[in-house]
Amino acid sequence: DALPALSWLNIRESVEQFSHTMAAQAHLNVEAHHLEVLNHNFRNWAHVKFPEPIYASSSVIIETFEPGRIITGVLDHYDAIASRRGDDKKGTLSAEEVMEDDDVDMEGVTEGSGYQLVPFKLAKFIVTNGLSIYLKMLLADNLMHADLHPGNLLIDTHATFHRRPSKKSSRTLRSGGNGSAVSNQLPENFRICLVDAGMVATLTDTEAINFIGLLSSLGEGDGASAAQFALRFSRNGNDMTAEQKEAFTCDMVVLFEEKCRGYGHQVD
């Protein structure tokens, strides 16, 4: 408040929001309540899970153990395989490579080198369900897990790696067709578990309208519309001159033409 030139940073509101979030995380019974609500919201999604609180107080929480590996661990697994293979990073995985389920020694491993080896069904499951979970929390529930970094996402593929292949999948493995044979071997009953629900977020009606409008603009590749919704997020947007708003809108249109042309055109 003493430095009007920095008012656009909204420092007071940001500090108050941060303080509220940290205070809520310090009370583990609040996290237990979040888990109960999230589990209820996704009760009909068999492939989505949150830990279930068994006991909780302000300083202690006991939850169910949920099997799985963090997403970064899954990707490290395929990066390690790619590094062992050297330049040959394509083709199918051997049975031994599929069955590996131990911690990966990442010494000398190039991160991001094994993405071509990730089975298609597994990659599709992570991407499509991750997006579906996020949109459900945003659009339907208005209660969002606010700490969705890869370390808080567990992928349960244990049954996948140890399930006996069916006759159909065995024939597929012998056929030597295009694509990863493992992707045909893996069933589609993976499960994703979201942990650490200490931070959640809800949106006001106005925030929801602006946020959903911004997402829609991204999908449609509409830079002008995205600029309008972005300006509505700014407390000082109404203080901008017409020339400033026009300049911002033009910059957004150019940015979208270069980086975000809408559905089917890739988003950088």
Separation of alpha carbons 41 and 143, rounded Å: 9
- Judge whether residue 167 has pLDDT over 60: no
49-53 contact pairs (CB < 8 A, 24+): 49/191, 49/192, 49/193, 49/194, 50/193, 50/194, 50/195, 50/197, 51/193, 51/195
The per-residue pLDDT for range 169-201, each reduced to its tens digit, is 333 333 333 333 333 444 457 889 999 988 888
39-42 contact pairs (CB < 8 A, 24+): 41/136, 41/137, 41/140, 41/141, 41/143, 42/133, 42/136
Q: Given this model, what pLDDT does residue 35 score? A: 93
Q: Given this model, what pLDDT does residue 37 score? A: 94
Q: Once rounded to an integer, what is the mean pLDDT over residues 158-178?
A: 39
Please give the residue that has the higher pLDDT: either 79 or 227. Answer: 227
- Judge whether residue 162 has pLDDT over 90: no
Q: Given this model, what pLDDT does residue 91 score? A: 55
- Judge whether residue 66 has pLDDT over 80: yes
- Specify the 3-state DSSP secondary structure of 103: coil
The per-residue pLDDT for range 69-121, each reduced to its tens digit, is 888 888 888 888 877 776 555 555 544 455 455 555 555 555 656 777 888 88
Q: Given this model, what pLDDT does residue 178 score? A: 35
Q: Given this model, what pLDDT does residue 174 score? A: 33
Q: C-alpha 39: how far from its chain's center?
A: 18
Q: Given this model, what pLDDT does residue 74 score? A: 82
Q: Given this model, what pLDDT does residue 163 score? A: 39
Q: Once rounded to an integer, what is the mean pLDDT over residues 118-138?
A: 88
Q: Once rounded to an integer, what is the mean pLDDT over residues 220-247?
A: 83
Q: Once rounded to an integer, what is the mean pLDDT over residues 220-230?
A: 91
Q: From its phi and psi, is residue 264 left (phi > 0), alpha (psi between -120 and 50) or beta?
A: left
- Specify the 3-state DSSP secondary structure of 46: coil
